[in-house]
Amino acid sequence: MSSDVTSIERRQFDTLIIGAGGGGLRASLQLAEADLSVAVVSKVFPTRSHTVAAQGGMNAALANVSPDNWHWHMFDTVKGSDYLGDQDAIEYMCRAAPKAVYELEHFGVPFSRLDNGKIYQRAFGGQSQNFGGDQASRTCAAADRTGHAILHSLYQQNIRAKTHFFDEYFAVDLIKDDEGHVLGAVIFNIQNGQIMVIEAKTTLLATGGAGQLFKTTTNALINTGDGMGMAMRAGIPLQDMEFFQFHPTGIAGRGMLITEGARGEGGYLVNGDGERLMERYAPKAKDLASRDVVSRAIAVEVREGRGCGPNKDHVLLKLDHLGEAVIQKRLPGIRQTCITFLGIDPAETPIPVFPTAHYTMGGIPTNRFGQVVVPVKDTPEEPVAGLYAAGECACVSVHGGNRLGGNSLLDILVFGRAAANHIIDYLKENKYHRSANEESVNEIVAKIKRYDQPPSSSDTASETVANLRKELKQTMEDHCSVFRNKEILKEGVDKVEQLAERMKNVRIDDQSFTFNTAKVEAFELENLMACALAAIHSAYAREESRGAHSRTDFTERDDKSWMRHSLYSFENGLDYKPVRTKPLSVESFPPKPRVY
């Protein structure tokens, strides 16, 4: 049962990690092995985290299949980001990639293998040799279940390292003191409703993306932008939230992901005329152009009447020419998904696909050490003491305007580890817990208790979570999708503002303290609202087309005015900061027209 504020259980740790996907678990492993006390708080059992659903693989210039080096990978990533990625972070990530993969392999990840016993690498979108030359095979894969293989191995290593897990606890908000230090979080045990205060010298947000913003999505139901919402409420702006990736090949109308690896293994897209459509949009890379490019191509084909099916509302992904053996060996997971959800075997029948909400490029602004950074006076990036973020919830930004396939698993592992290493150093200098801010704690506790009272009959303005969430997802789908313009976005801004206002009237019918998922969904929706506000406002303001943000009224990229990061906060609305164009050791890649 819920209790008095004074009797709330308090626990102290060196580090609190919120989220147990790949980023959180990579960090916790590093910290546990450094003999620090770590609490990993996750609203689901760790192996349910969305990393588990990653399919195609993880990029690293191992050169097991084609000649390669990290600098080529860096070029592809900068170009893929449409020059909005921060080049210091990108250089760091691409240099660290091979080591990150070898570490995983040593942790036990069952990577697919080449005949010589080395890790199998497949072709993926936007990957080239020699700065835009031939297609590179850079994506390390465990069949098409790479995320599952990685997440389970990381969890297993954490079992070995005896990491302290708080499974099925929901983190509601960060505790902050008057000097701006983050001191941990208030959480509650989903199983019994008990509120708990976790006091921590450092807190790492690793809560993943916000794909539940959209009606049709490849994302798990748990991807509700929790860390982003927490950051916003702690006064931290969200960065580049207008850049949301639509994966070219979600199952049409349903949303299940069909890995880019399907095209990497030789699959291709055809339109209603039976034409291999990508030859027109990306003559060289064809089906392995960047995701934003392929998604736009599909959307244009459908819009111009060249779609497939009775409603001409999708295109087809053709794999049957690969033969059953290749499909069973390299793509067994998506084969099963097609059989289960569509009743078709891709070894015989093409898959109906359409661009589907997939990945949050934006997020909590950090530097390449994982420190959360905010503008303070004339400094655009001042670290928030004690607070870190890594993975999809963060914006380092290695993905800029468009993430390359295979760079997401890489991001979580490289920056989960980097954040942990910085935390280890930080704790050497900051040995003691700061006293908890009781005012901050009490506010959060009161918020959690808000849903403990049943809705009263005099409550005329009552709203349900389900209705508001449905409206929000439809609004984002209609107003913040692959193509955008001023009118559509303005309407979207107004609608989301109204929805956020109505959020205040949400009531729930379930007052139980035992596994109250209705209460969890209410907090999740609050987090989604924060993300939606940031996304739609940032999209409305950005009058150019870059990466995944395509404006039909501003069709060109405008480097003069817009090669800068958006920042949106509750307090200040929109603000901007420059892109970090200077890499660590090599020459900067200046913006160029982006052709595939």
Partner 1 sequence: MKFKIYRYNPETDAKPYVQEYELDNVEPGTMLLAALLRIKDEQDQTLSFRRSCGEGVCGSDGMNINGFNGLACITSLDSLKQPVEVKPLPGLPVIRDLIIDMDQFYKQYRAVKPYLVVNDPMPEVELTQTPKQRERLDGLYECVLCACCTTSCPSFWWNPDKFLGPAALLQASRFIEDSRDQAFEQRLENLEGPFKLFRCHTIMNCVHVCPKGLNPTKAIGRIKAKMISRSL
- Active-site amino acid positions: 291
> Residue holding tokens 């020059």?
83
Segment 397 to 416, residues that bind partner 1, using CB under 8 A:
none
Helix (H, G, I), strand (E, B) or coil at 94: helix
Residue range at the interface with partner 1 (CB under 8 A); choices 155-163, 430-438, 489-497, 547-555: 155-163
Nearer to partner 1, 158 or 475 (CB): 158
Residues 6 or more apart whose Cβ sits within 8 Å of residue 394: 23, 205, 363, 364, 365, 366, 370, 372, 415
Segment 464 to 483, residues that bind partner 1, using CB under 8 A:
464-466, 470
- Cα(576)–Cα(566) distance, integer angstroms: 5
Nearer to partner 1, 220 or 476 (CB): 220
Segment 333 to 362, residues that bind partner 1, using CB under 8 A:
333, 336-337, 340-341, 343
To the nearest whole angstrom, how small is the minimum distance from the Cβ of residue 255 to partner 1? 8
Nearer to partner 1, 120 or 596 (CB): 120
- Verify binding: residue 111, partner 1, rule CB under 8 A: yes
Strands 364-365 vs 394-395: parallel, antiparallel or unpaired: parallel
Nearer to partner 1, 183 or 327 (CB): 327
Of residues 118, 434, 447, 564, which one binds partner 1 by CB under 8 A? 118
Of residues 102, 483, 570, 576, which one binds partner 1 by CB under 8 A? 102
Nearer to partner 1, 326 or 518 (CB): 518
Nearest partner of 118 among 174, 70, 68, judged by Cα: 68
- Cα(569)–Cα(35) distance, integer angstroms: 36
Residues 6 or more apart whose Cβ sits within 8 Å of residue 191: 168, 514, 515
- Verify binding: residue 156, partner 1, rule CB under 8 A: yes
Residue range at the interface with partner 1 (CB under 8 A); choices 144-152, 261-269, 287-295, 483-491: 144-152
Nearer to partner 1, 384 or 409 (CB): 409
Number of residues that bind partner 1 (CB under 8 A): 60
Residue range at the interface with partner 1 (CB under 8 A); choices 216-224, 283-291, 439-447, 476-484: 216-224
Of residues 141, 508, 529, 548, which one binds partner 1 by CB under 8 A? 508
Segment 21 to 80, residues that bind partner 1, using CB under 8 A:
44-45, 47-50, 52-53
CB 247 within 8 Å of CB 359: yes
Question: Residue type for 431, please?
Answer: K
Of residues 215, 436, 449, 515, which one binds partner 1 by CB under 8 A? 515
- List % helix, strand, coil for the chain (3-state, nearest 5): 40, 25, 40
Residue range at the interface with partner 1 (CB under 8 A); choices 32-40, 385-393, 440-448, 516-524: 516-524
- Cα(389)–Cα(394) distance, integer angstroms: 5
- Cα(523)–Cα(229) distance, integer angstroms: 9
To the nearest whole angstrom, how small is the minimum distance from the Cβ of residue 458 to partner 1? 20
**Residue 532 CB-density burial (10 A; 0-12 exposed, 13-18 middle, 19+ buried):** buried
Tokens encoding 308: 């497939």
The number of helix segments (H) and strand segments (E) in the chain equals 16, 22
Nearer to partner 1, 131 or 341 (CB): 341
Nearer to partner 1, 87 or 337 (CB): 337
Helix (H, G, I), strand (E, B) or coil at 136: strand
To the nearest whole angstrom, how small is the minimum distance from the Cβ of residue 222 to partner 1? 5
Tokens encoding 473: 């997802």
Residues 255-294: x where in contact with partner 1 by CB under 8 A, - otherwise, as a string: -xx-------------------------------------
Of residues 220, 252, 302, 445, which one binds partner 1 by CB under 8 A? 220
Of residues 11, 12, 105, 349, which one binds partner 1 by CB under 8 A? 105
- Verify binding: residue 509, partner 1, rule CB under 8 A: yes
To the nearest whole angstrom, how small is the minimum distance from the Cβ of residue 553 to partner 1? 35
To the nearest whole angstrom, how small is the minimum distance from the Cβ of residue 149 to partner 1? 6
> Residue holding tokens 């092995």?
33
Residue range at the interface with partner 1 (CB under 8 A); choices 103-111, 411-419, 439-447, 587-595: 103-111
> Residue holding tokens 């990508």?
278
- Cα(388)–Cα(360) distance, integer angstroms: 18
- Verify binding: residue 112, partner 1, rule CB under 8 A: yes
CB 405 within 8 Å of CB 125: yes
Spatial strand order of the sheet with 121-128 comes to 58-59, 135-140, 121-128
- Cα(539)–Cα(471) distance, integer angstroms: 19
> Residue holding tokens 């509120």?
195
Helix (H, G, I), strand (E, B) or coil at 356: strand
- Verify binding: residue 496, partner 1, rule CB under 8 A: no
- Verify binding: residue 201, partner 1, rule CB under 8 A: no
To the nearest whole angstrom, how small is the minimum distance from the Cβ of residue 257 to partner 1? 8
Tokens encoding 445: 């506790």
Strands 315-318 vs 351-360: parallel, antiparallel or unpaired: antiparallel
Q: What are phi and psi of 268, to 5 degrees?
A: -150, 165
Q: State the residues that interact with partner 1 by CB under 8 A.
A: 44-45, 47-50, 52-53, 101-102, 105-108, 110-119, 142, 145, 148-149, 152-153, 156-157, 159-160, 191, 220-222, 256-257, 333, 336-337, 340-341, 343, 464-466, 470, 508-510, 512-518
